Structure 1
Amino acid sequence: MKIMFPKFDKVGMPLLGIAAAVLFVAEAKRQLRRRTRPKIERLLENGSVAAAALPALRLLLLPGMYAAARQASRYEYGLLRWLRLPRWARNVAGFLLLDYTNYLWHVLLHKSDLLWRFHNVHHSDLDLDLSTAWRFHIGENIASLPYRGAAIALIGVPAPLVLFYEVIFEGAAAFHHSNLRLPYPVERRLCRVIVTPRMHGIHHSIVARETNSNFSVIFSWWDRLHQSLRLNVPQDEITIGVPAYRNPQEQTPTHLFMLPFERQRPWQLPDGTVPEREERHPRQQLLP
């Protein structure tokens, strides 16, 4: 299985590094939500989780997805090949379908009790910023390989497009997890097409119906298509995290690594109350 991708490593990774550096500075200067925990502590915690997860992403998930695309190409397998589309149409359709299947994967992470155990590590962060974009349990990255590989093969995505999409995917995740306050009129227009920090901040709310919305990664169209879009929550009213995991002392790298293997707590605060919020209408109107 091929594991060396010169263009990805020499072009894509540096571009992602530059984007991350810009977002890191920008979110410090234009903060969207007030922090609840010391920044350095969270960087160390989230960095420790990422130190295990990112190598699995680069050395297992990415080569596995690329191999699935190569095998589909070798046997002329996949929807896009059966349709005999021209190359440009295959690339456009492939990119969109990759993003759509990742929307469905994100929904599955929330609906499956088993997968949620691993995804809970990401959501239990008590703040939301750039570092949260890399706070994924290594088990979640490994578990995503069969799904994402199968999706790539069934679609018939060209192998180079897999690498290109992954760069955009990672860049989009860094952007919408960031704590960057964009001008409200700008973000209101942006979120009609792509996922933005305000939109994704709602997804990390401790209110269950808000967490179970806004599953898209790059394009916000998929939430609109499936009526899972929710924009009507002001950012200063959002409490980030999972209600049963509010203790900062449990945010240690060891505990986060073991979290999927422990009994999962019900969706309620330590005092037993379930977080709720009065519904505002319309749901699709972005609030500051």
Structure 2
Amino acid sequence: MGKSNSKLINQLFDFKGAPLLAVGVLALFYLEKRYALRKRKDSLRERLKTNSMVSSTAIVALRLSLIPALVKAAFLAGERNLGLLRVLRLPSPFNHIISFLLLDYGSYRWHKLNHRMPFLWRFHQVHHADLDLDVTTALRFHFGEVLISVLYRGGWALLAGVTPRQVLVYELIFEGATNFHHTNLRLPRHIDRGLARLIVTPRMHGIHHSVVRDETDSNYSVILNIWDRLHQSLRLDIPQDQINTGVPYIRHHANASELMVMPLQPKAEWKFPDGQVPLRL
């Protein structure tokens, strides 16, 4: 990693973006406690303890592995004139718009792969095994998932031909959007409906965390939900009070130790402990 890339990460991500994200998380945490969308099922204190322990390792992996890899991939694209945007040579405004769309579509594809490929799901289920859904869930990822994503997301940035600044700006918006749509914040319905025409909202993503398989296998978008619309994976029809959050085969509060070793275990069947398959009646 060159000095210029490290300086860019420090200036844009560490000194500007990260503090804003931290303030955003605290604000969302306060607001979702005051204006709750879904009733809690698990102890908030225990969830905070577990999710903070799991997320701390993921944040380290993000900053020390994924962020440098994304910037390095973008740097190589420019140095060796690789990637779609390097071929198209679009005017600056269009270049920024297309770079954002390309990166966001890549995030959609990566999220979908995490649900479709058994090996990737073994890591991603750590995020979905939370019995409640709030802003702390947005940070609860297994560090192994973050490390594995380096190969895919770094390769995608290289193929797209984005710049280091573009990939960092996208990553900051990506993290902010992830925090927002995982929150348990009850937005007025007309505001939620208006936002859902373009971006992922808490109600929309709440459906994705349902124990019903068809609902979990929907709403993969991270920022713009156009990708779910194009691939017909959009669901907006399930009321939040009818969503049973989590994965069916884990119906207890899994502590940090259980979650960290979860990827080492065989993929479980999509059933409740009593053998019943969750269905929407």
TM-score by length of 1: 0.94
Aligned residue pair count: 276
Name the structure 2 match of 1:274: 277
- What are the equivalent positions in structure 2 for 1:1-288 lying under 5 Å apart? 1=1, 2-4=5-7, 5=9, 6-248=11-253, 251-278=254-281
Q: CA deviation at 1:218?
A: 0.2
Deviation readout 1:234-277 (Å, 9 max, x if unpaired) = 000000000001122xx111110000001222000011000001
CA distance in 2, matches of 1:9, 1:265: 38
Structure 2 CA distance for partners of 1:273 and 1:18, relative to 1, 3 Å = same
2:232 and 2:13 map into 1 onto residues whose CA distance is: 35
Structure 1 residue 14: Cα displacement: 1.2
Deviations 1:193-224 (A, max 9, x none): 00000000000000000000000000011000
Partner residue, 1:284 = none
C-alpha contact (below 8 Å) 1:202/1:230 kept by paired residues = yes
CA distance in 1, matches of 2:25, 2:55: 14
Q: CA RMSD in A?
A: 0.8
TM-fit CA distance, 1:87: 1.7
Of the structure 1 ranges 132-141 and 6-15, higher mean CA displacement relative to structure 2 is found in 6-15
TM-score computed with the length of structure 2 as normaliser: 0.97
Q: 1:230: Cα distance to partner?
A: 0.4
Distance in 2 of aligned mates of 1:231 and 1:75: 43
CA contact (8 A) 1:223 1:229 kept: yes
Shift, 1:47, TM fit: 0.4
Contact 1:91/1:158 (8 A) holds in 2:
no
Q: CA deviation at 1:3?
A: 4.3
Between the aligned partners of 1:268 and 1:143, the Cα distance in structure 2 is 27
Runs of 5+ in structure 1 lacking a partner?
279-288
CA distance in 2, matches of 1:44, 1:132: 12
Structure 2 letter corresponding to 1:43: L
* Distance in 2 (alpha carbons) for counterparts of 1:256 and 1:52: 12
- Residue identity (%): 51
CA distance in 1, matches of 2:231, 2:6: 36
Q: 1:285 maps to which residue?
A: none
**Which segments of 5 or more consecutive residues in structure 2 lack a partner in the other structure?**
none
